[in-house]
Amino acid sequence: MSKNKFYVTTPIYYVNDAPHIGHAYTTILADVLARFHRELGDDVFFLTGLDEHGQKVEQAAQKRGMAPQAHCDDLAPRFRDLWTRLEISHDDFIRTTESRHVKVVQAILQSVYDKGDIYQKEYEGLYSVAEERFITEKEAESGQFREVKTIKEKNYFFKMSKYQERLIKYIEDHPQLIRPEHRKNEMLGFLRQPLGDLCISRPKSRLSWGIEIPFDRDYVTYVWFDALINYITAPGYGTDEQKFKHWWPASVQLIGKDILTTHCIYWTTMLFALDLPLPETIFAHGWWLIGDSKMSKSLGNVIKPLDLIEQHGVDAVRYYLMAEMVLGADCNFTPENFIKRYNSDLANDFGNLLNRVSGLIGKYFESVVPPCVEPTPADLEIVRQGEALGVKVQALLQEYKVDAAINEIMNLIRAVNKYMEVQAPWKLAKTDLPSAGRVLYVATEALRLSAVLLRAVMPQKAERVLEILGAQGTGLAWGGLKAGTKLETHPPLFPRIEVEKQ
């Protein structure tokens, strides 16, 4: 396998927010892709971080009677610690208040200004305090924006409109840029209206918690213009050209559908202004919903990942989030669905197969893996499915169909459980021990292959399965499990969740 480069990003989360399942979802998704690409031998850079400037942060700090930086420093560990608990394997964690980022933002502002793509003008318009941006009349009428007031002030503007035609053409020529397809169409629809210029400054008289504009010290940078730049600061833009050239453009930038415009319009045109290539893909996933509403702090309906981890373990949480949501569509979170999927996929299918093979090899072979002698057509059918699985999963993940990839793995597990039922090695063991051994080898080897593939999703439990099978470090070729290996004894890895009948 040739060593490809894979650079994946998550949005940088607002430091003020208490992390919930929505934030955890994007980050786990990026982690699964990063781990999978590492598994393939690719060179991976996985970036996540925090968005720390802007009015909301300033106000929250004021409320607590703290300096904004101290407030951010105090809150940042909530995200960092959660990522550790969730086994997130990021390579860098960027905070927009770090000097490495501030310097890059200022250098970019200066160069875009020098180039003539930033200008000053007086502007009177509707401003949403909650969203921290000027909005159009139409947006105001939509009722989706809170705390709207009219503001008249001098500001700096980025000539986004200049790049409108180029962006339309680029999107049309690069269908993989905005995915899924319906989001691409949404953005092309948006671009049918004339694109305005982007107000990228805030007067310090109104907001001081931001990156100072280098050519006018009375202003700070609009939080989105600052935040988006994190994606190039971290891989070394302006500081380490070699590193930057290696990583940029990003392979995939994962976002929720709520921040589609900022990424597909603001970010892309900013990159045009900087003469930088656009990312290969911006992938917008749907929302986790509670009932009909988006899970969000302002609605007070959030599910806290730590509570779920405490109850069911990290791997079960990661598995559920990845298997349940069809990438691109919204998904309802309910504790009932969580338990249902856990019990069916992990306790009944995956966990049960492990318990069965290790129990039977324990009982009839003193826990030593038997050889597979003279495989029958039924055995070879499982071998065929097992050998095909890696390629199938890889193809689906390359299409960002994580749920479908997991389902393929589970299909093999289900096929092996059926094969066990039909072959009944517990019966064979009484009359024909080598045949019982053959069946158990095939089933255990298929389980090992599934565990190798599930390692990206469930790093702890899948690794534990491989440990039990004495097969750590093995890959996707059939036969990684060696006859003669002594299996470890273990308690069930996925005990059923018993729901008390009301």
Closest to ligand MSP by CB, 229 or 436:
229
Amino acid letter, residue 324: E
CB of 157 to ligand MSP, least distance (A): 20
Closest to ligand MSP by CB, 39 or 98:
98
Out of 8, 17, 417, 436, the residue judged to bind ligand MSP by CB under 6 A: 17
Q: Give the whole-angstrom CA distance, residue 12 versus residue 17.
A: 11
Closest to ligand MSP by CB, 81 or 488:
81
Binding mask 292-311 for ligand MSP (x = CB under 6 A): --xxx---------------
Amino acid letter, residue 344: S
Q: What is the 3-state secondary structure (H, E, C) of 2-31?
A: CCCEEEEEEEEEECCCCCCHHHHHHHHHHH
Out of 7, 22, 389, 416, the residue judged to bind ligand MSP by CB under 6 A: 22
Closest to ligand MSP by CB, 11 or 437:
11
Q: Give the whole-angstrom CA distance, residue 300 versus residue 314.
A: 24
Q: Cis ω on the peptide bond leading into residue 425 (within 30° of 0)?
A: no
Closest to ligand MSP by CB, 258 or 280:
258
* DSSP class of 368: B
Q: Give the whole-angstrom CA distance, residue 384 versus residue 365.
A: 26
Q: Considering the rule CB under 6 A, would residue 94 count as an interface residue with ligand MSP?
A: no
The stretch near ligand MSP (CB under 6 A) out of 9-17, 149-157, 240-248, 364-372 is: 9-17
CB of 455 to ligand MSP, least distance (A): 24
Question: How far does Cα 399 stand from its chain's mean position?
Answer: 14
Closest to ligand MSP by CB, 256 or 425:
256
Residue 217's CB is within 10 A of a number of other CB atoms, namely 9
| Helical residues (DSSP H) of 352-424, grouped into ranges | 352-365, 377-398, 402-423
CB of 101 to ligand MSP, least distance (A): 11
CB of 17 to ligand MSP, least distance (A): 5
Decide: residue 456, CB within 10 A, 0-12 exposed, 13-18 middle, 19+ buried. Answer: buried
CB of 476 to ligand MSP, least distance (A): 31
Q: What is the 3-state secondary structure (H, E, C) of 175-232?
A: CCCEECHHHHHHHHHHCCCCCCCEECEEECCCCCCCCEECCEEEEEECHHHHHHCHHH
Closest to ligand MSP by CB, 134 or 288:
288
CB of 427 to ligand MSP, least distance (A): 49
Q: Considering the rule CB under 6 A, would residue 23 count as an interface residue with ligand MSP?
A: yes
Q: Considering the rule CB under 6 A, would residue 26 count as an interface residue with ligand MSP?
A: yes
CB of 49 to ligand MSP, least distance (A): 9
User: 178 has which bridge partners?
Assistant: 282
Binding mask 271-290 for ligand MSP (x = CB under 6 A): ----------------xx--
Question: How far does Cα 276 stand from its chain's mean position?
Answer: 24
> Which helix (H) or strand (E) segment is 123 a member of?
strand 118-128
Q: Considering the rule CB under 6 A, would residue 259 count as an interface residue with ligand MSP?
A: yes
Q: Considering the rule CB under 6 A, would residue 51 count as an interface residue with ligand MSP?
A: yes
Q: Considering the rule CB under 6 A, would residue 14 count as an interface residue with ligand MSP?
A: yes
Q: Give the whole-angstrom CA distance, residue 377 versus residue 456.
A: 31
54 phi-psi bin (left φ>0, alpha ψ -120 to 50, beta other): left
Out of 6, 7, 12, 354, the residue judged to bind ligand MSP by CB under 6 A: 12
Closest to ligand MSP by CB, 103 or 257:
257
Q: Give the whole-angstrom CA distance, residue 106 versus residue 274.
A: 13
The stretch near ligand MSP (CB under 6 A) out of 15-23, 168-176, 396-404, 465-473 is: 15-23
Say which residue the tokens 């299918």 belong to. 349
* Pairing outcome for strands 281-285 and 252-256: parallel
The stretch near ligand MSP (CB under 6 A) out of 255-263, 345-353, 442-450, 479-487 is: 255-263
Structural contact between residues 146 and 130, judged by C-beta atoms closer than 8 angstroms? yes
Out of 167, 227, 317, 452, the residue judged to bind ligand MSP by CB under 6 A: 227
CA angle, 210 then 212 then 215, to 5°: 155
Total chain residues near ligand MSP (CB under 6 A): 21
Residues at the contact surface with ligand MSP, assessed by CB under 6 A: 11-14, 17, 22-23, 25-26, 51, 227-228, 255-256, 258-259, 287-288, 294-296
